[in-house]
Amino acid sequence: MTISPFDLQGGGWPVALQRTEKVALKQALDYYDSVVSDDISRTDGVKRDPERTKRVIKSYARNVSTQVSLETIRADVISSDIETFDKESLYGYLNALKRIFAIEDSPAWNPNLRSKTAVRTSDTRYFVDPSIATAALGIGPLDLVNDLKLMGLIFENMCVRDLRVYADALSGSVYHYRDKTGLECDAVIHLRNGSYGLIEIKLGGDKLINEGAENLLSLEGKINTEKMRKPSFLMVLCGVAPFAYKREDGVFVVPIACLKD
């Protein structure tokens, strides 16, 4: 299993960073190089250009954890490419990346709501492991510390990756929610028996945690519980918190390091 440079859950950011940074970054870069030079063509026998593969992955990395359209990604690739790149070509590259488990988008969740709120149906763009994104962008942990917006998007990808592991073990799936009003929920774990939980992902800090909790409570209030169950839990999954706890409003605040066996 590839060690992500952001799997720093052992004993505090600085100590873990010093201990694992070189090995983790090398493994991430080695895997990225393998995807670009060999794996993407080997999956179906179609020879694909390594430089164009890099551009596709880099564009995906620049738009990680967003619902950007595939046309936007195609235009981004073309902007740095003197040759044409039609939709069919893009789909071929992306399908190959999915088959080799490099990217894995999150589909939209469409619950029964009390009002006729239009739900956005675009997938959220994710890598199977966020270290692929950082390798494509040529950045390391210190770069992310200096760009908290990008770090938040990479952190969201890491959290979704971990949530998928737990959801798979329960025969469940992970979705996302966003409606026309801008209300969103980063992750919805939905099990086959109909139970589900709503999760917002934040780096940490009281302001962001409160914002995440408010989003979850707003979405819970929109769900028509006469047609579907109430959520089993509401959770803000965060990077920085002293411990896991339950707020007075019922929302759980859980540090990522608490996601263990």
Task: Kindly report, residue by residue over 62-118, the tens digit of the pLDDT.
Answer: 999 999 999 999 999 988 665 678 899 999 999 999 999 999 999 999 999 988 888
Residue 2: pLDDT over 80: no
Please answer whether residues 77 and 62 qualify as being in contact, where contact means their C-beta atoms are separated by less than 8 angstroms.
Answer: no
Q: What angle do CA 132, 208, 174 make, to 5 degrees?
A: 50
**CA–CA dist 237, 151 (Å, integer):** 15
Please answer whether residues 65 and 157 qualify as being in contact, where contact means their C-beta atoms are separated by less than 8 angstroms.
Answer: yes
Identify which of 77, 74, 96 has the alpha carbon closest to the alpha carbon of residue 87: 74
Question: Considering only 23-27, 162-166, 222-226, which range has the smallest mean pLDDT?
Answer: 23-27
Compute the mean pLDDT over every residue in the chain, rounded to the nearest whole number: 89
Per-residue confidence (pLDDT) for residue 10, from 0 to 100: 40
Long-range contacts of the stretch 18-24 (C-beta < 8 A, 24+): 21/140, 21/141, 24/131
Please answer whether residues 61 and 44 qualify as being in contact, where contact means their C-beta atoms are separated by less than 8 angstroms.
Answer: no
SS3 251: coil
Per-residue confidence (pLDDT) for residue 43, from 0 to 100: 86
Per-residue confidence (pLDDT) for residue 22, from 0 to 100: 76
Per-residue confidence (pLDDT) for residue 19, from 0 to 100: 60
Burial per residue of 174-206, b for 16 or more beta-carbon CB atoms within 10 angstroms, e otherwise: bbbbbbeeebbbbbbbbeeeeebbbbbbbbbee
**CA–CA dist 198, 235 (Å, integer):** 6
Tell me the per-residue pLDDT of 50-74, one tens digit each, with 9 for 90 and over.
999 999 999 999 999 999 999 999 9
SS3 46: coil
Please answer whether residues 49 and 152 qualify as being in contact, where contact means their C-beta atoms are separated by less than 8 angstroms.
Answer: no
